[in-house]
Amino acid sequence: MREAFSRSLESLEQIFGFTERFFAGRDIEERHRYAVNLVIEELFSNMVKYNASGAGNIEVEMRHQDGGVQVRLSDRESVPFDVTAPRAVDPEAPLERRRSGGLGLFLVQKFVDSLDYAYRDGTSTITFTRNLDKDDVRD
Protein backbone atom coordinates (compact mmCIF):
# COMPACT_ATOMS: atom_id res chain seq x y z
CA MET A 1 0.00 0.00 0.00
CA ARG A 2 1.28 3.43 -0.86
CA GLU A 3 -0.02 6.93 -0.30
CA ALA A 4 1.32 10.48 -0.39
CA PHE A 5 0.67 12.98 2.39
CA SER A 6 1.04 16.72 2.54
CA ARG A 7 4.00 18.08 4.46
CA SER A 8 2.19 18.97 7.68
CA LEU A 9 1.66 17.49 11.12
CA GLU A 10 -2.04 17.76 10.34
CA SER A 11 -1.46 14.82 7.98
CA LEU A 12 -0.89 12.50 10.94
CA GLU A 13 -4.58 11.73 11.30
CA GLN A 14 -4.69 10.66 7.64
CA ILE A 15 -1.51 8.64 8.08
CA PHE A 16 -2.98 6.75 11.03
CA GLY A 17 -6.07 6.10 8.91
CA PHE A 18 -3.77 4.74 6.20
CA THR A 19 -1.96 2.40 8.61
CA GLU A 20 -5.28 1.26 10.06
CA ARG A 21 -6.40 0.25 6.57
CA PHE A 22 -3.10 -1.57 6.08
CA PHE A 23 -3.45 -3.45 9.37
CA ALA A 24 -7.12 -4.31 8.85
CA GLY A 25 -7.56 -8.02 8.32
CA ARG A 26 -3.91 -8.81 8.99
CA ASP A 27 -2.86 -10.95 11.92
CA ILE A 28 -0.54 -8.42 13.53
CA GLU A 29 -0.46 -7.86 17.29
CA GLU A 30 -1.38 -4.50 18.73
CA ARG A 31 2.11 -3.94 20.16
CA HIS A 32 3.58 -4.18 16.66
CA ARG A 33 0.91 -1.88 15.26
CA TYR A 34 1.70 0.64 17.98
CA ALA A 35 5.41 0.44 17.26
CA VAL A 36 4.96 0.86 13.50
CA ASN A 37 2.62 3.82 13.99
CA LEU A 38 5.05 5.46 16.39
CA VAL A 39 8.04 5.01 14.11
CA ILE A 40 6.15 6.37 11.10
CA GLU A 41 4.99 9.39 13.11
CA GLU A 42 8.48 10.16 14.40
CA LEU A 43 10.07 9.87 10.95
CA PHE A 44 7.33 11.81 9.19
CA SER A 45 7.36 14.55 11.86
CA ASN A 46 11.09 14.77 11.48
CA MET A 47 10.78 15.25 7.72
CA VAL A 48 8.22 18.00 8.27
CA LYS A 49 10.26 19.68 11.00
CA TYR A 50 13.58 19.75 9.16
CA ASN A 51 12.26 20.55 5.71
CA ALA A 52 9.13 22.58 6.27
CA SER A 53 9.75 24.65 3.13
CA GLY A 54 9.76 21.63 0.81
CA ALA A 55 6.86 21.79 -1.61
CA GLY A 56 6.23 18.15 -2.46
CA ASN A 57 4.29 15.51 -0.61
CA ILE A 58 5.88 12.78 1.49
CA GLU A 59 5.15 9.25 0.38
CA VAL A 60 4.59 6.33 2.75
CA GLU A 61 4.67 2.75 1.50
CA MET A 62 3.88 -0.29 3.67
CA ARG A 63 4.47 -3.98 3.01
CA HIS A 64 3.78 -7.11 5.05
CA GLN A 65 6.39 -9.66 4.10
CA ASP A 66 8.89 -12.18 5.45
CA GLY A 67 7.41 -12.14 8.94
CA GLY A 68 7.63 -8.41 9.31
CA VAL A 69 6.31 -5.03 8.30
CA GLN A 70 8.48 -2.94 6.03
CA VAL A 71 7.80 0.77 5.70
CA ARG A 72 9.42 3.23 3.32
CA LEU A 73 9.11 7.02 3.58
CA SER A 74 10.24 9.10 0.62
CA ASP A 75 10.70 12.85 0.43
CA ARG A 76 11.64 14.11 -3.03
CA GLU A 77 12.42 17.63 -1.92
CA SER A 78 14.61 17.07 1.06
CA VAL A 79 17.82 18.07 2.71
CA PRO A 80 20.13 15.29 3.93
CA PHE A 81 19.34 14.11 7.46
CA ASP A 82 20.66 10.72 8.49
CA VAL A 83 18.14 9.28 10.90
CA THR A 84 20.35 6.27 11.58
CA ALA A 85 23.00 8.35 13.37
CA PRO A 86 23.08 7.58 17.11
CA ARG A 87 21.01 9.95 19.25
CA ALA A 88 22.53 11.49 22.35
CA VAL A 89 19.69 10.73 24.73
CA ASP A 90 20.42 9.47 28.22
CA PRO A 91 17.38 7.55 29.49
CA GLU A 92 18.99 7.45 32.94
CA ALA A 93 19.35 11.22 33.28
CA PRO A 94 17.58 12.97 36.14
CA LEU A 95 14.60 15.20 35.40
CA GLU A 96 16.53 18.47 35.41
CA ARG A 97 18.82 17.26 32.61
CA ARG A 98 16.06 15.80 30.45
CA ARG A 99 15.32 17.38 27.08
CA SER A 100 12.71 16.27 24.59
CA GLY A 101 14.98 16.97 21.59
CA GLY A 102 16.24 13.82 19.91
CA LEU A 103 13.85 11.63 21.81
CA GLY A 104 11.79 10.72 18.75
CA LEU A 105 14.64 9.23 16.75
CA PHE A 106 15.99 7.60 19.90
CA LEU A 107 12.66 5.75 20.22
CA VAL A 108 12.68 4.93 16.51
CA GLN A 109 15.98 3.15 16.90
CA LYS A 110 14.57 1.18 19.85
CA PHE A 111 11.43 0.05 18.06
CA VAL A 112 12.76 -1.13 14.70
CA ASP A 113 14.76 -4.16 13.60
CA SER A 114 16.39 -2.41 10.68
CA LEU A 115 16.67 1.22 9.68
CA ASP A 116 18.22 2.50 6.46
CA TYR A 117 18.66 5.97 5.11
CA ALA A 118 19.54 6.94 1.57
CA TYR A 119 19.91 10.36 -0.04
CA ARG A 120 20.18 10.76 -3.78
CA ASP A 121 19.39 13.63 -6.15
CA GLY A 122 17.47 15.50 -3.48
CA THR A 123 15.38 12.51 -2.41
CA SER A 124 15.57 11.12 1.10
CA THR A 125 14.39 7.56 1.51
CA ILE A 126 14.03 5.96 4.91
CA THR A 127 13.25 2.26 5.12
CA PHE A 128 12.57 0.39 8.34
CA THR A 129 11.38 -3.06 9.27
CA ARG A 130 9.68 -4.35 12.36
CA ASN A 131 9.86 -8.12 12.79
CA LEU A 132 6.64 -9.67 14.07
CA ASP A 133 8.18 -12.61 15.90
CA LYS A 134 10.11 -10.64 18.50
CA ASP A 135 9.03 -10.73 22.11
CA ASP A 136 9.84 -7.20 23.03
CA VAL A 137 11.35 -3.90 22.04
CA ARG A 138 15.05 -3.98 21.20
CA ASP A 139 17.50 -3.03 23.94
Partner 1 sequence: MFEIESAGDGTIVLSGRLDAAQARKAQEFLDGVACPRELDCTRLEYISSAGLGVLLRTQKRVMGQGGGLRLVNVSNHIRDVFRYSGFDKIFVIESIPESG
**Chain residues that interact with partner 1, rule: CB under 8 A:** 9-10, 12-13, 16, 30-31, 34, 37-38, 41-42, 45, 89-96, 98, 100, 103-104, 106-107, 110-111, 137
120, exposed or middle or buried, with CB in 10 Å at 0-12, 13-18, 19+?
Answer: exposed
Task: Decide whether 3 or 119 has the Cβ nearer to partner 1.
Answer: 3
Smaller CB distance to partner 1: residue 13 or 27?
A: 13
Minimum gap (Å) between residue 92 Cβ and partner 1: 6
DSSP state at residue 87:
P
> What is the distance between the alpha carbons of residues 108 and 33, in angstroms, rounded to a whole number?
14
Q: List the one residue out of 81, 78, 91, 83 whose CA is nearest residue 114.
A: 83
Q: C-beta of 56: minimal distance to partner 1 in Å? A: 20
Q: How far is the CB of 106 from partner 1 (least distance, A)?
A: 7
